[in-house]
Structure 1
């Protein structure tokens, strides 16, 4: 996986390689003081399959990403 920030507008992006996006809901409205929505989709199919998850933020934040074999955990420092 690979995580990065985009500043204008503020977003956190998580890209997961060798994955196929099959979630039925591609966008989830959150609407709290920090997180507007979460979007996901198949970013790339060739040469490597990449699923991308985007967190649309209300403002820029610091974060930490950790992973196990089964999950990726994003800790957002508000």
Structure 2
């Protein structure tokens, strides 16, 4: 399954390592340092301020979509039917 993370970018759900909200990113010095170290991997998909950070093995996306929206999209196909 794929998740739309912003602009025209689709990411396979099994490639997603983490989805972090903007507040977590801004509050953590460790995450800021991580982003500086991986600067070449970062793609800013947000035309304005980003709302979430999507980390995969190959890329790191600054997404204009909320982390809760991305989480819902990434688990939508994995729900089990409970009668």
Taking structure 1 as the reference length, the TM-score comes to 0.26
Q: Greater share of strand residues, 1 or 2?
A: 1
Taking structure 2 as the reference length, the TM-score comes to 0.25
Q: Greater share of helix residues, 1 or 2?
A: 2
